[in-house]
Structure 1
Amino acid sequence: MKVSTQRLTMSLITEGDWSLFVSLHTNPQVIQLCFDTPDETVLKSKFESRLTPWEANSNTWLCMVIIDKLSGQKMGVTGFHLEDGIAEVGYLLLPEFHGKSYGTESLSGLMEWAYLEHGIAHYKAVVTEGNIASERVLGKCGFHLDMIIPEAHMIGGKTYSDHIYFRKIETYK
């Protein structure tokens, strides 16, 4: 299973991607507006759950590694969890790839693939208050802010609201 865009290839995460996964979940520049650094047991469990084979009717996350086509460098992960016909999307990029539209390109490519291959037309994203870069990515990908849940969780001892975004795909050309 592979997804391809102009600059990127996305392929299923494998056991060999453990170091990338750790970097994405422990680098302060990546997680500062997402979550606190998980302990190793929680992180290992999360990683192993992402290795579970995904099918359109499964209850598991589809997790794909984002790879630069030219250099072959692994840049981050993207994916979604399907529940009641709505795919909740998520993505994390290493800091050196921030601000270069890779998040937008990978998310757009993933949604187009999911729509064309599996008919998934409804998408949701949860963004922490203040994560303006992720909100920009979602806006560029056609999402709209649907609701704000005040004081939804804590990161670093500070309480944040969750911004809930939705998108319905009508058609891809």
Structure 2
Amino acid sequence: MSTLLEKEIKVNRILTTSVQHARAIEDPARSKIIEILYHRALSADQISSELKKTGYKKALTTVRHHLDILKEAGLIEIAKIEESRGAITKFYSTSTKLLGYAAPDDFDSKYSKVIDNTSVKIEKILRSITPKTAKTKKAKGGNSADYSQYLVMEIMNRAMTNIMENSSKDHE
């Protein structure tokens, strides 16, 4: 047997998510709903109208079904409930910002120095976080070292989100 292709695959990205979150956003319309709800609270009718503007023509019952899936996954929540003429209207919002872009082919070469410099700085931060997460119990059915890494990534993700959200508010 001869090898026709072999190459080393270098890990350059860690994606922190749960199966429940991944399943919830696998439908493009649900991903779009999260984008639409970023920094806005809208009713199912308003969400349906916004979806139509972006090319997703979904019946209101389908939109409500998508909202239930996203709500169950913890990606959206009810932000407000209004009563008008005996009817109840729920307004949904999200605490999740999806950044669904593809990096350009030259990303690694173009940003390698920035990545290296940032890696050194982040490594110092991680050294202070890792001992705290290493003490945590093993996740259900998982490896405790992987779970510790997950916790570190989740802490870093939320800290970066705080910084970026505050930074974007400063530039408004």
- Check whether TM > 0.5: no
> Which is higher, the Rg of structure 1 or of structure 2?
2
> Which structure's residues are more often helix, by fraction?
2
Q: Whose strand proportion is higher, 1 or 2?
A: 1
TM-score when normalising by structure 1? 0.27
